[in-house]
Structure 1
Amino acid sequence: MSEPDDYTASETYRKRFAGPVGAWFLAIQADAVRRVLQGLKIRTVLDVGGGHAQLTGPLCDAGYEVLTTGSSVRAGHLFQGRAEGRGYVASSCMKLPFRTGTFDAVVSVRMMAHVDEPGRFLKECSRVARTCVVVDYAWAWGFNAVADLFFPLKRWVEGDTRHFRRFKRSEVAHLVEEAGLQVVSDAGLFFWPMALHRLHRR
């Protein structure tokens, strides 16, 4: 059984973000994460399930020391030969090999929608973070509410995609509270799904 980040760390997934539309999506995502971290006296960041390396460059360029975890050595193939300060550790996202409060911040994108136990996942991220945890999730409204109906179109446009879990805000608030955290910032990034952006550009 594959781990949730095996796919997001793959070359196939990386190609989904090739071109101007993909670059725009990644820039919006990275900017949102940087805005949350700004002003919080953050130096060390753990990127959980970040074998896709979508945040590594932007965060390192912003002056943060970034360590990335992934479920396997294979999921960290994009980090081979990387410069110092962009390290990678293979480990389960549900049992991180670090002491409590090891990192100033923990970030994770492309994971909440695919882990089997999102509550346990958040608790583990919270355990190793001293200051804050930043995650993304799919809201259960708008186009996401009918995502399954449009899945064939999405797959046709993007070439390769997968189903994902959607969350109500009340559900996320409960999971956050159970993890010993509190929501200090919650912002929507995209109204239209990526497939429609790509379809528009065709």
Structure 2
Amino acid sequence: MKGQEWYQADDVAQEYDDKRFSGGGRLIDRREKQAVLSALGPVEGREILEVACGTGRFTVMLADQGADIVGLDISSAMLSQGREKAADADVSENVSFMLGDAGRLPFPDDHFDAVFAMRFFHLADTPVTFLRELKRVAREQVFFDTFRRPSMRVLYNWALPMGSRLYSQRDVRSLLADAGLELAHESHDFVFPYGFYRSLPGAVAKPFRAVDEAVGKTAAGDAVASVSYWDARGGE
């Protein structure tokens, strides 16, 4: 798994949200949460697993909406941040945080209504192995995102501390087939990559986001997007 030691560092966990989701990064956070909520639909009473939950920004959001949710991550430092968020939001009774390996999920088959993973597959060295595990423990739904190839993300991919795996649409469709999943819905976004937005103050980032969304609505929008969201179901 790329970047495993980097993500487990205490200082990375403490600074993770501030570095990625402040300033222009708030636009990314808002869009990602919208994507998760749109895919999972009403979550009240549903049993959900988030793989690679990090600091718990999606976990806590879904717990606040009534989901019975487990957040799993390889980083105890990230999980500590998640527990603090859950306590601050008064949703600790609805969420459990667990230390674990996404390649060997500690749950029986068909244990959750839905399983999702955000900001995960760009680090996966053997993505089909992880995707099969997500499918194994999901009764109904598997949702995840990927970074697209080709896209503007390649311009700064080399600068990341652990690199990043990029996927074409064909790559993901093949991956889904190999994992025994059927694609229910896909969407694509962010012509300007995440790193671009994070480098800007919020007020400066908003006009660029408006242009980004306008391009995304054109016929060429999907072809130039840097992020894809995939909503899948278990095949027969």
Equivalence map 1:53-68=2 (5 Å): 53-68=56-71
Gaps of 5+ in 2: 205-236
Partners of 1:23 and 1:114 lie apart in 2 by 22
Summarize deviations over 1:29-59 as a string: whole Å, max 9, x none: 0111111111699701100010221212221
Structure number with the higher strand fraction is: 2
What TM-score do the two structures reach when normalised by structure 2? Answer: 0.73
CA-CA distance at 1:71 after TM superposition: 1.4
The answer to which structure, 1 or 2, has the higher relative contact order (CA under 8 A, 6+ apart) is 2
Contact 1:79–1:86, Cα closer than 8 Å, also in 2: no
Alignment match, 2:184: 184
Q: Are the aligned partners of 1:47 and 1:67 in contact in 2 as well (CA < 8 Å)?
A: yes
Q: Which whole-Å CA distance do the structure 1 matches of 2:142 and 2:21 have between them?
A: 28
Question: What does 1:116-195 correspond to in 2, within 5 Å?
Answer: 116-148=125-157, 151=159, 162-195=162-195
Alignment of 1:31-110 (within 5 A): 31-38=34-41, 43-80=46-83, 82=87, 83-110=92-119
Q: What is the RMSD of the two structures over their aligned residues, measured on CA atoms? A: 2.6
Q: CA deviation at 1:77?
A: 1.2
- CA–CA distance in structure 1, aligned partners of residues 142 and 43 of structure 2: 12
**Pairwise CA distance, 1:78:** 1.3
Gaps of 5+ in 1: 156-160
Provide the secondary structure at the position in 2 that maps to 1:183.
Answer: strand
Q: How many residues align?
A: 193
Relative distance call for 1:171 and 1:66 in structure 2 (3 A) is: same
Instruction: Identify which range, 137-146 or 89-98, moves more after superposition.
Output: 137-146
**Which has the larger displacement, 7-16 or 130-139?**
7-16
Identity across matched positions, percent: 23
Greater mean alpha carbon deviation, residues 51-60 or residues 117-126: 51-60
> Residue 163 of structure 1 aligns to which amino acid in structure 2?
G
| Equivalent in the alignment of 1:158 | none
Deviation at 1:75, TM superposition (A): 3.4
**Post-superposition offset of 1:18:** 4.0
Classify 1:12/1:200 alpha carbon distance in 2 versus 1 (closer, same or farther; 3 Å). Answer: closer
Q: Is the 2:123–2:165 contact (alpha carbons within 8 Å) kept by the matching residues of 1?
A: yes
Shift of 1:200: 4.4
